[in-house]
Chains A and B, each alone.
Chain A
Amino acid sequence: MSYTAEISRTNPTCLLFLIDQSSSMLEPFAGQKDRQKADGVADAINRLLQNLVLKCAKSEGIRDFFYVGVLGYGGRVVSALGGALASQAIVPVSTLANHPLRVEERTRRIDDGAGGILEQKFKLPVWYEPKPTGRTPMCQALNAAKKTLEVFLGRYPQCYPPLAINITDGMSTDGDPLLAAESLRGLASADGNVLLFNAHLSALPAAPVEFPDREDGLADSFARQLFRMSSVLPPRLREGARSEGFAVSDGTRGFVFNADLVSIIRFLDIGTRVAPGGRMP
């Protein structure tokens, strides 16, 4: 059975994020005048990276269950991590954890379990800042992701299949991304094909859609195209989604519209999940 390889420090997998940095990202997000899509993307990617790091954090440090890369595409395709991580295609998650651009301190209010509210300080790391420019070479980005993952698969041929997670407003300017997506999904480890998931951030004030199993009802042609580019969720990820209350079927795909994909990080199995009382941020 595929998609069952253990994710471990000796057999890690790779998460590669593709971030749309094109100038169209300056448009407002989901009908909110004062919020650009680019800010929505930055929030999404920083939350994804934070959740990934926290998933691997233990008392003694970070366990390198994952390698992580962030490719930005706006005008051209570049590594979008900054500071000490600049220009590196992928890094172990421990390196990512220890080199955010900065760590902001925020406060959140939580239920104290006895009818009161507690204020809890927490740190918010920032790895990625929006810098929208140029056109949207999504095909080039998918091809660059393929090259990076080919190298990773050469090193870890038995790994749980790498995940490419594309966050975009959907308007490719360098051709039909369906073919490039298919080619990327054609890569495989012994455990299964590379997974491509897409998060579509749209200017349309349409209701969020998470993990659909059909394209009818999606807001526009870009959403439908991104749906078609997205991998069907393998059984264990599908069960993870089901157990969190998502309505899923055998045809459910790794696609969200005006929503984030942080839940995917939770669905990845590295051992006993902290679920009932302790909620991941």
Chain B
Amino acid sequence: MITVPPLRWQALRLVKQGNAAADYEDAAAADAARGRFAIADGASEASFAALWARLLVTRFVAEHCRPWRHLDWVAPLREHWAGAVDGLSLPWYAEDKRALGAFATFLGLALGRRSGRAAGTWQALAIGDSCLFHTRGDRLLCAFPVSRSADFGNRPRLLGSRSALDRLDEPRERARGKWKPADRLLLMTDALAHWFLLRTEQGKSPLAEIRDLLAAPSPHDAFAGWTDERRRHALLRNDDVTLVVVDLDAA
């Protein structure tokens, strides 16, 4: 039987500098009891993208079937999204944008282990450049789906809310790995993931920086200050930022 390992998690998020809190278009969701975590990044040039991103993450963590294996669970969300926005009376430009649909990148993670075992496996599903990093101590074991900072751009693969406009070529990628007790998994939307990979490539220790932030009396305040400073020095691209940290308990 597959069970969910004991773990702790937390999420940190920050809106793009210059935007209001309501303009945040990333999303994060977790169901620790199911071992499920997800993040999404609503495309800034799309409309109603925050709603689409929220629908994706909340469904992934609640879905009964194994949602990392396919995208069947997305179809009802498209209906839900259309139901929420299609009846709205909008100016011409918002109508046109709505007709195109909303778009988001997505990363979903599921953790499990066989009863009685100390270690287990993780499964991940990705569309676009929302990223997962599997770490052990100070070592980066796996970066998925982007593994080099140079591979980020402003045209990631996206999951659309209108199936008619989607090419349906299922641009999803899947990965799996084995975790051990005390491993840390980090989910990051693109701006932060880019920073993380770049620092790693430069031989720095981004994991230590994140560890310090999480150890602060208020991780949210520490994260906000840390992010502001890096944006000011152009070390971190100005964008919505989302970080979910999942810690497997030590044996």
| Cβ-defined contact, A6 with B45, below 8 A | no
Does B101 belong to the interface (CB within 8 Å)? yes
- Which residues of chain A are near B183, meaning CB under 8 Å? none
B43 in contact with A280 (CB, 8 Å) = no
B92:A120 contact, CB within 8 angstroms: no
Check if B44 is an interface residue, CB within 8 A of chain A.
Answer: yes
Alpha-carbon distance A90/B85, docked complex (angstroms): 33
Judging by beta carbons under 8 Å apart, are B43 and A273 in contact?
yes
A259 smallest CB distance to B (angstroms)? 22
Stretch from B64-72, B157-165, B198-206, B222-230 contacting the other chain: B157-165
Q: Is the CB of A272 within 8 A of B164?
A: no
Query: In angstroms, how far is the closest chain B Cβ from the Cβ of A45?
Result: 17
A53 to B45: give the CA distance in the assembly, Å. 11
Known: A113-B167, A270-B45, A273-B154. A122 touches B18 (CB 8 A): no
- With A8-B18, A113-B165, A122-B99 as known contacts, state yes or no: A274 contacts B43, CB within 8 Å: yes
CB of B103 within 8 Å of the partner chain: yes
B-chain residues with CB within 8 Å of residue A271 when the two chains form the complex: 43-45, 154, 239
A155 in the interface, Cβ–Cβ < 8 Å? no
One of B46, B96, B155 near A123 (C-beta < 8 A): B96
Identify the A interface with B (CB < 8 A).
Answer: 6, 8-10, 53-55, 57-59, 61-62, 97-98, 100, 103, 110-114, 118, 120, 122-123, 125, 243, 269-281
Q: Are A275 and B94 in contact (CB under 8 A)?
A: no
Question: B78-106, CB under 8 A of A: which get 1 and which 0?
Answer: 00000001000001111111011101010
B2 to chain A, nearest CB (A): 34
Does any Cβ of A come within 8 Å of B171's Cβ? yes
Q: How far is the CB of B66 from chain A (nearest CB, A)?
A: 25
Contact between chains at B93 and A59 (CB < 8 Å):
no
Chain A to chain B: the 4 pairs with minimum beta-carbon distance, closest first: A271-B44, A123-B92, A277-B166, A272-B43
- A193-B48 Cα distance, complex, nearest whole Å: 35
Question: With A277-B165, A278-B165, A281-B96 known to touch, is A272 a contact of B171 (CB < 8 Å)?
Answer: no
Choice from A54, A269, A275 contacting B93 with Cβ under 8 Å: A54
Complex CA gap A281/B96 in Å reads: 9
Cβ-defined contact, A280 with B100, below 8 A:
yes
**Cα–Cα distance between A61 and B156 once the two chains are bound (Å):** 24
Distance in angstroms between the alpha carbons of A263 and B100 in the assembled complex: 18
Give the shortest distance, in Å, between A19 (CB) and chain B (any CB).
22
- Residues of B41-63 at the interface with A, using a CB-CB cut-off of 8 Å, are 41, 43-51
- CB closest chain-B residue, reference A96: B93
In this complex, which of A53, A55, A272, A281 has the most chain B Cβ atoms within 10 angstroms of its Cβ?
Answer: A272
Query: Measured between alpha carbons, how far is A273 from B48 in the docked complex, in Å?
Result: 15
Chain A residue contacts of B164, Cβ below 8 A: 110-113, 118
Find the B residue at minimum CB distance from A118.
B164
Determine if A273 and B167 form an interchain contact, defined as CB atoms under 8 angstroms apart. Answer: no
Nearest opposing residue in chain A for B101, CB measure: A278
Task: Determine which of B41, B92, B105, B160 lies in contact with A125 in the assembled complex, contact meaning CB atoms within 8 Å.
Answer: B92
A100–B96 alpha-carbon span in the complex (Å): 15
Question: Shortest distance in angstroms between A85's beta carbon and chain B's nearest beta carbon?
Answer: 16
Evaluate contact between A98 and B91: CB separation under 8 angstroms.
yes
> By the criterion CB–CB under 8 Å, are B44 and A120 in contact?
no
B95 touches A123 (CB 8 A): yes
Q: Complex: how many Å from CA A16 to CA B207?
A: 46
Which of B101, B103, B157, B239 has most chain A Cβ within 10 Å?
Answer: B103
Query: Roughly how many angstroms separate A48 CA and B239 CA in the complex, as a whole number?
Result: 26
Q: With A271-B154, A272-B156 as given contacts, are A59 and B96 in contact (CB-CB < 8 Å)?
A: no
Smallest CB-CB separation from B47: which chain A residue? A59
Among A10, A59, A112, point to the contact of B94 (Cβ < 8 A). A59
A274 touches B91 (CB 8 A): no
For residue B46, give the distance in angstroms from its CB to the closest CB of chain A.
5
A100, chain B: closest CB distance, angstroms = 8
Tell me the bound Cα distance from A8 to B47 in angstroms.
17
User: Provided the pairs A9-B18, A272-B43, A274-B46 are in contact, do residues A53 and B100 lie with their beta carbons within 8 angstroms?
Assistant: no
Give the distance to chain A from B80, nearest Cβ to Cβ, in Å. Answer: 16
Given A9-B18, A59-B47, A281-B96, is A275 in contact with B165 using a C-beta cutoff of 8 Å? no
Q: Which of A53, A100, A118 has the most CB of B within 10 A?
A: A53
Chain B residues, CB < 8 A from A277: 101, 103, 158, 160, 162, 165-167
| Chain B contacts for A103, CB-based, 8 A | 92
Contacts of A110 in B (CB 8 A): 164-165
Q: Which residues of B contact A113 (CB under 8 A)?
A: 163-168
Tell me whether B238 is interfacial, beta carbon within 8 Å. Answer: yes
Known: A55-B45, A271-B239. 6 other contacts (CB 8 A): A59-B49, A59-B85, A113-B164, A113-B165, A274-B43, A274-B100
Contacting pair A57 B41 (CB below 8 A): no
